[in-house]
Structure formats: C-alpha cells, structure tokens
Amino acid sequence: MASLVFFACLQMVSAYAAPSPRDVAAVLDDLEKTMSGTKTIQTDFIQEKNLALFNQKIVLKGKVFIQKPRLLSWRVMSPMRYSMVMSGDTISQWDEDTDKVQRVSLANNPSFQLAVEQMEKWFYGTFKSMQGDYKITLITEHPIALEFVPWENSLSRNFIKRATIFFQDDERYIKEVHIEEKDGDSTSLVFVNAQLNQPILPNAWEVRADVR
C-alpha cells in the first residue's frame, strides 16, 4: 500500500540549527492562527535548483497565486514558460515548448496531489498536520525558522534529507524554503513581493493566460 504514493514524495522543506528553548507546538499553534487569516496570496518566486542532471545551476523565476480553498497557480516565466493550475481536484499544465494543455485528475496522480497539498500546507500554515511525516524543530524564533526532517517511516524520507522554512518577520507568510535532497541535489525557493488578501485576477486561474 505504501507504493500507492511512492511517486508522491514531493514534500519539501528544511535546514540546520540548534533547537530553541521555545515550545515548537506553541509556535506551530501561533503560526496556524496567524496564517489562518490569509485567504489569498500572490507572490513572485526565485527557484534555484542544483541537480546532478544538469551541468549548471538552474534558476527559475515566476509567480505563485493561492486562494482558499483549493485554488493554486504556479507560473514559471523564465528561463522557459510553464504554468500549472490546480482547481479543485484537477490539475492543468501548459508549457511553451509544446504549447499544449494537459489536464490530469489529482486522484489519479498522487504525486501532484501530495505536492499541491504540501504547498497548501506551507502557505496556509497548517504545519501541525505535517507532524505525522516530519519531526519539526524550531531553529530560530525571530524570525521563525522551522526545520523539517522526515520520520523514519515517512515516504518523504525517500527523497528529502531535510527542509527548512524561513518566515517573514510578521510571520504571516513564508520568505524562503530550502530543500536538501537525499541524493545530494538541492532546491531553494525565495518568495518576494508578496501580497496577502488582495483580489487575484481571474486570468491567474487560466493555465494558458499571460499573467504578469
């Protein structure tokens, strides 16, 4: 049954640091309360990937739109254009290369499902529900940084060594995510120009649309 989700170990997160004396449960509670007030997020991102597959580090730039409940748009602007929109239980993907839209059901694609769920949990701040899969440690309290190390029985352990999430000073959303993968690859995501609870343009949910 475990292999039901073997592809789906797309959970990210982590970094190092010494444990904080502050109770991590209390921090997670506070984050959940603070972030629960966020209904929409739109932010630019810069993603750096260090993959053994490529000679050079790859830097991706783009935008993320999130609206509760269950709307997510991930749009890469450079070096290639790619977009992924999740609406309810359906994922639509488009890329410049093929110029084709591919629609898949989340139920039939556990990998996407878990990846999307993971992103939702980060941005909604529902970290307590991730405790089943990760040992969560508070690294720094001001600003908050959390380290996520997969438990021994967790599927995430197949891919992730550790992940660290850094929060904005006001703790209302995530500033950075660093993921250290098991095979030595690594990814970092930096979110900039974030806007919270601002109306999102309808075309953000259209996979082909040119959203700036």
Partner 1 sequence: MSGDHLSRIHDLVQTRKGVVIGLLVVLIVASLIGLKFVKFNNNIEVMLPQKAAVQNTMRFLREANFSDKLVISLNLNDESRTTQDLILAADQLAASLNSSPLIKQVVSIVSTGDIASEMVDFLKFAPQLSGADVLSKIGSQITPDGVKERLKFIHRQSLSPGGSFLTPFLRADPLGIFSGILRDIENLSMSLGYEVVINNGHFISRDGRHAMLIVKTPVVLTDGFGARELITYLQGAFKQLPAFVSADIIAGHVHTVSNEDVIKKDVWLTSVIASLAFLLLFIFYFRDLRAVMIFLAPFAAVAVSINVAYFVFKDLSYSVIGMGTVISGIAIDYGIFVYVAVKKAGGSSETIKRVIKPVMHGALTTIISFVVFFFSSVKGYHQLAFFSILSIVLCLIFSIFILPHFFTKEKSPPPGFAPPEDILPPDFKLRDALCVISWVAVLALMFISGTKITFNNDIAQFDAVGPEVKSTEEEFHRVWGGKVMPAILVASGTTLEGAYQNNTDIYEVSVKKIGRDKISSFASVWTGLVTRKANLLRWQEYWSPETESKTKNMLADYGKAYDFSQEAFQPFFNLLRSSGDLAVEPKGLSFFDRLKEQYVVEKEGGYQILSFFPDEEKYITALSAVSNDHPGAFIVSRKKFSNTVSHALGAELIYLSFAAVVLTVIITFLLLKNIRLSIIALAPVVTSIITIAGVIPLAGLAVNMSIIIAFLIVLGDVSDYGMFVAYETKYKCRTGTFRAVTFAALTTLIGAGALLFARHPMLFSVGVTLVTGVLSGYLSSVIVIPPLYRMLISEKSQG
DSSP assigned state of 96:
T
User: Are 129 and 117 a contacting pair, CB within 8 Å?
Assistant: no
Q: Closer to partner 1 by CB, 6 or 16: give it.
A: 6
Asked if 99 touches partner 1 (CB under 8 A), the answer is no
Q: Is 43 in the site for partner 1 (CB under 8 A)?
A: no
- Binding flag, residue 152, partner 1 (CB under 8 A): yes
Q: Work out which of 51, 77, 190, 196 binds partner 1, going by CB under 8 A.
A: 51
Lookup: tokens for 122:
């980060």
Instruction: Work out whether 139 is an interface residue with partner 1 (CB under 8 A).
Output: no
Could you say which residues in the range 10-39 bind partner 1, by CB under 8 A? 10, 12
**CA–CA gap between residue 175 and residue 165 (Å, rounded):** 8
Binding residue for partner 1 (CB under 8 A) from 21, 69, 132, 199? 132
**Within a 13 Å sphere around the CA of 193, how many CA atoms are in the beta-carbon half?**
11
**Residue 82 contacts residue 76 (beta carbons within 8 Å):** yes
The distance of closest approach from Cβ of residue 160 to partner 1 in the complex, given in angstroms and rounded to an integer, is 8
Instruction: Measure the CA–CA gap between 53 and 175, rounded to whole angstroms.
Output: 27
Do 179 and 203 contact (CB within 8 A), yes or no? Answer: no
Phi, psi of 192, rounded to the nearest 5 degrees: -130, 160
Distance between alpha carbon 48 and the CA centroid of its chain, in Å?
A: 14
Residue 169: CB minimum distance to partner 1, A:
26
Binding partner 1 by CB under 8 A: which of 181, 190, 195, 206?
181
How many residues line the site for partner 1 (CB under 8 A)? 51
Which residues of the shown chain bind partner 1 in the complex (CB under 8 A)?
A: 1-7, 9-10, 12, 49, 51-56, 58, 60, 74, 76, 80, 82, 84, 93, 95, 97-98, 111-112, 115, 118-119, 128-129, 131-133, 151-155, 157-159, 181-183, 185, 187
